[in-house]
Amino acid sequence: MPVETALISLGTVAVRTATKLWLGDHKVAAEVGAAAVDQLSLKLTKERDKRKLVRLMDNFAEAVVDRLEPIIEAEFRALKENEQLAAIDAVRDTFEEASLDDADLFAADLDAGHLDRSIRRRVPPRTRLLSADATALYDLLLRECCGYVIEISRGLPVFSANALTELLRRDREMLDGIREVLARLPQRDRTAGFDYDYRQLVARKLDRVDMFGVTLADASRRYPLSVAYISLTASTDDDLGSVHRVEDLLAGARHFFIRGEAGLGKTTLLQWIAVRSALGDFPEKLADWNGTIPFFVPLRRYAGRELPAPERFLDEVGRYIADEMPRGWVQDKLRDGSAVLLIDGVDEMVADRREEARTWLRDLVNAFPRTRVVVTSRPGGAPAQWLGAEGFSVLDLQPMSRGDVRLFVARWHAAMQVTCVDDESRRRLHDYEEGLLELLASRAHLRKLAGYPLLCALLCALYQDRRATLPSNRMELYEVALQMLLERRDVERGINAIDGLGRTEKLLLLGDLAYWLIRNGYTEVDVPRALYRLSQRLSHMPQAKASIQDVYRHLLERSGLLREPVEGRVDFVHRTFQEYLAARDAMTTDDVGTVVQSAHLDQWHEVVVMAVGHASQRQREELLHGLLNRGDLHLLVLASMETAPELSTSLRGEIQVKTMRLLPPNSMNKAKAIASAGEYVIDLLADCRPQTIDEETATVRALAETRLDEALPVLARFAAKSTSDRVFEEIVHGASFFDERAYGESVLSQSRRTSMYVDSELKLVAARYMTSLDQLGLKHLDDTRAFAHRYGLLPQVSTLRLNSWPRSDLRLIGTRFRLATLVLENMRLPDLRSLDFVESVVELRVTGGSLASFDGIERWQGSLKKVVAVDHGPTTRKMLAALKREMPNLIVLP
């Protein structure tokens, strides 16, 4: 029997095993043989559907073979065919005889190692008659197939009768999805041991993110980072740094402290780094990071216990694999520089333990200086230079640009395609996407909300749920989101609720738990403690006809707000929801004094802001007066204007007088806090008079981050008057927050700058509207082709400077130029023929790079008067001499 045939047989058995886990039926899984597939077939009535099911399972088996064949070819080519066959057959027989009767095998965090060990315990050893090399092949194939079994069972939609019908109707799409899932696994080789198993586990566990808008029981609750991840932007430090893609910044150092407001994607970024590290497929800019081993350590897990020693760094990714870890393995990775240590959420430690966390980090960096370390925090959790003494580069995450928002919306809807059961539902989903994008383009307040990935996902879910209408501010956004999650979705889907447990009761229970967590400085808690807390509040709700265990499971599985991040502990799916509910409970219980007394603690800042929105008129006046009287919280008061629906005239006047002292802002953090007050601060910013470049730059940022059209005339004034390069960079960056044409015509067109070097897409956008430009430099960008159309919208200038453009991309420049000077910098060209977009030129300058021939220069014969070549060798000098002979009236230098 050929090896290929044996592998097909093995693949078939592996798929059957995956089907057992997919069914979720412990009785079927405990049986051996083909019972699972038979069970599936019995659920189908049409013979053609049954045949289609068989073909689909065969195709899944071939996908497994496609992964196994290269391993044997690369690692066991020298092993005799009969020994290869014996090992393959032994693995197949092992799977055939395995009874999957362990409840752990149906856990969401099952890993290949645990499945491997479980199968070996249940089946007598099959390696007694195999040679050492054949045994090695057996061990490798068994472990590898265990990984495939898990990925296939998890890659299919949650089993139901409808899911089976949809599986057959979309068989090609499902097959492609399974192939993609398997392709995301690291490639195992003969020497692969614990490193491989750990990488595989990280790739599987962390290559998923929660998608807001669906509940725990929905198949699409979690989706791959490859769909979810949006490349974020960050400023380089706390002091008015320029904005770049995070991937570009990560390439420049080994230690990073990344700060970002709630909902900006800090945890998702760390997960992306972890998965790329595990798979070894970082983009080219981060190629040096390939070959690393990631360790993801969320500090919230250690809020009430000792921070982990290196051997505990595996706690987050699985319950089973740590026992197999070789002694000193983590320390070896840290020591040799192959580790990437990802520390998430300094702000989620209580304030009095953050110094302990800093000491812990300092000790790690000193002990293992070659290790790459990335730490995240909300800005309030730690100042920019919190790790400055340890040499950490500081990155401040920025809200998504308009282009990023469009991409995020597209990806959210692409992920939701999984829930569509027919073409009509897909068409509706497409219509929702188009409608939302149109709404975001026309509503400034929605654009501001959409800059945060969390809130953008909320908008996507609510637009689909509400069929077009959206809230006008984030307090309303959270309110209608909770209504959708806690009441409407289950009612509309016909899902039975617990008698007496309506939206009001759920809000009270969740709010009580959230506020209790905030008051105690917790971000998560043991399930028994959560149950006790909930039971105390539930005891005052005799109308709720269910046990505390049933109520807890309902909140966990149906609300979309709670989760169990690790076994035995519970937290809110995002701190923003915890803070919103805590603020609501604080005002419901009239706990204004506690909020005022705790307002200086960074973990309370968002609670304070949202408490102002939840408060009654009396509570709001008391709360804001209390904050003003403390004297050191005026910036927090200003940020609270975002959520205040009404204020008395006297209080508004007092706030205005006291907060004017904060203007103009002199740092980006202050600019962001001021911008959060929205329309309230635009007039204040218009009246302030920045005296330094720092103040001017931060004032521009504050105006831009309001994302309100009312800020455009003020920004236009800065564009017209400022001569600072830094301020100009900030004005250009502001284009990412507004409608391009409105910003270009209102703001950028007022600039009086005569020269600009385009080294980013935003500057390329700006150039279109800057009619004062006379000199324009165009650097070739990595993603030039993605926005090629913009090169046809450039202004007419007298001097054009091209830097590092390959010949093939010059055709993208669609603007026709008549130039006084054309400068070619670091260009490698065979001739000048590809510059046909230049209709005439008086002076040509060639600097660096290489030019093989002046062919094509004849098109400029009527206008060209001078050619200058700098930093070129003897060959170019000979070419220049020949050019002089051909065009004797031309000035040629040297």
pLDDT tens column, 719-778: 999 889 999 999 999 998 888 899 999 999 999 999 999 998 889 999 999 989 999 999
The predicted-structure confidence for 801-845, as pLDDT tens digits, reads as follows 999 999 999 999 999 999 999 999 999 999 999 999 999 999 999
* Phi, psi torsion values for 736, nearest 5 degrees: -70, -15
User: In this predicted structure, what is the pLDDT of residue 712?
Assistant: 94
- Backbone torsions φ then ψ of 864, nearest 5 degrees: -70, 130
Q: How confident is the model at residue 703 (pLDDT cuts 50, 70, 90)?
A: very high
pLDDT reading at 100 higher than 90: no
* Tens of pLDDT, residues 274-325: 999 998 889 888 999 999 999 999 998 887 789 999 988 988 775 567 777 8
In this predicted model, what pLDDT tens digit does every residue of 577-631 receive, in sequence order? 899 999 999 999 999 999 999 999 888 999 999 999 999 999 999 999 999 998 8
DSSP string, 420-483: --SHHHHHHHHHHHHHHHHHHHH-HHHHHHHTSHHHHHHHHHHHHHHTT---SSHHHHHHHHHH
Residue 556 has pLDDT above 80, yes or no: yes
User: What percentage of the chain reaches a pLDDT higher than 70?
Assistant: 87
- Cβ-proximal residues to 339 (8 Å cutoff; 6+ apart), any chain: 292, 293, 294, 295, 330, 333, 368, 371, 372
pLDDT for 213:
45
Structure tokens at 796: 């007419």
Per residue in 317-332, pLDDT tens? 755 677 778 889 999 9
- Whether the pLDDT of residue 563 is over 50: the answer is yes
Helix 575-588, helix 474-483: angle, nearest 10: 90
Question: Could you tell me which of 481, 444, 445 has the C-alpha nearest to residue 461?
Answer: 481
Question: Is residue 465 within 8 Å of residue 496, measured between CB atoms?
Answer: no
Does pLDDT of 479 surpass 50?
Answer: yes
Stronger pLDDT, 181 or 51, i.e. the higher one? 51
Burial class (CB in 10 A: 0-12, 13-18, 19+), 154: middle
Type and span of the H or E element at 492: helix 489-493
Q: Which two tokens stand for residue 831?
A: 């001739």
The verdict on pTM exceeding 0.85 is no
**863 has a pLDDT exceeding 70:** yes
pLDDT digits 0-9 by tens, 114-124? 788 888 888 88
Contact 444, 709 (CB under 8 A): yes
Nearest to 258 by CA among 367, 459, 392: 392
One-character DSSP codes across 172-204: HHHHHHHHHHHHTSPPP-TT--HHHHHHHHHHH
Structure tokens at 792: 């046809």
Q: What is the mean pLDDT of residues 649-675?
A: 87
Q: Which residues make Cβ contacts (< 8 Å) with residue 871, sequence separation at least 6?
A: 847, 848
Rounded distance between C-alpha atoms, residue 545 and residue 679, angstroms: 47
- Given this model, what pLDDT does residue 103 score? 58
Q: How confident is the model at residue 254 (pLDDT cuts 50, 70, 90)?
A: very high
**What are residue 775's phi and psi, to 5 degrees?**
-125, 130
Give the percent of the chain with pLDDT over 90.
40
Q: Which residue has the higher pLDDT, 184 or 427?
A: 427
pLDDT of residue 167: 64
- To 10 degrees, the CA torsion angle through 222, 521, 232, 434? 50
Q: For 366-424, how does the pLDDT look when each residue is reduced to its tens digit (9 = 90+)?
A: 999 999 999 999 887 888 889 988 999 999 998 888 888 999 999 888 877 766 666 78
Confidence band (pLDDT; 50, 70, 90) for 364? very high
Residue 452 scores a pLDDT above 90 = no
Q: What is the DSSP letter of 847?
A: E
pLDDT at residue 108 is higher than 50:
no
Q: What is the pLDDT of residue 190?
A: 54
Query: What CA–CA distance (Å, rounded) separates 41 from 573?
Result: 38
Average pLDDT of the chain is 85
| Model confidence band, residue 271 (pLDDT cutoffs 50, 70, 90) | very high
Instruction: Give the model's pLDDT for residue 529.
Output: 95
